[in-house]
Amino acid sequence: MFGKKINVAVTGGVGCGKSTVLKWMAGHGFPVLSADAVCHKALDRPEIIGRLTERWGRNCRLESSSGVAADRKWIAGKVFGEPGELEYLTSVLYPEVQRKLEDFCAGKCDGAADNVKFRAAEVPLLFESGMEKMFDFTVCVWSPECRSAGLSGRAALQLPVDRKMELADFALINNAGLEQLYRQCSMLAAQLENMVV
């Protein structure tokens, strides 16, 4: 039994339904955070754009009358085509992701009422980055589409979803439509809430 809010990480393969699960949790009053959203915001910061420009040149940015922004499409092509460049991008962005997740897990930025018993963060590269240690429990969202998608593109840089499911404390099986997935979310939330005294 836990005497505090439980920190839960949601992971899974590309397109398995992680964001859908996170939206369900947010819609039911649980504080949530998306590591992908943190990365997107970090990419907009001038100091991050500056570091990327130093390494890759001006191709990695978009310039307009309103300022400079990261060219996400160009960056995705670069990092998913060259694994060494993905490692570089990760080294630039993940310290920010880790800080935000640590603050979130400490309750510094969740804004939750005292009666909320858990908070959830979506972390696609949870096991790959070693960040699972920050959480009390891990949940893997699995779907046949993820499994059959094979290891191409972004998915090739992640652990296979079946392996993530083996490593996770809980699994949500997304193979029978939203209603069934939401039913599993509800059961998971009840189980987690019952663990908090």
- CATH fold of 6-194 reads Rossmann fold (3.40.50)
pLDDT tens track for 10-57: 999 888 899 999 999 999 988 999 999 999 999 989 999 999 999 999
Dihedral sign computed on CA atoms, order 189, 190, 193, 195: negative
For tokens 């460049």, the residue is: 85
Extents of the domains making up the chain: 6-194
Residue 61's SS3 state is: strand
Q: What is the pLDDT of residue 144?
A: 85
Does position 113 have pLDDT exceeding 80, yes or no? Answer: no
Inter-CA distances, 97 with 9, 61, 84, 131, 178, Å? 13, 21, 19, 10, 29
Find out whether 11 and 73 touch, Cβ atoms under 8 Å.
no
Q: Among the listed ranges 21-30, 102-111, 144-153, 178-187, which one has the minimum average pLDDT value?
A: 144-153
Coil, helix or strand for 1?
coil
Give percent of the chain above pLDDT 90. 55
What is the length of the chain?
197
Rg (CA), the chain: 18
DSSP 111: -
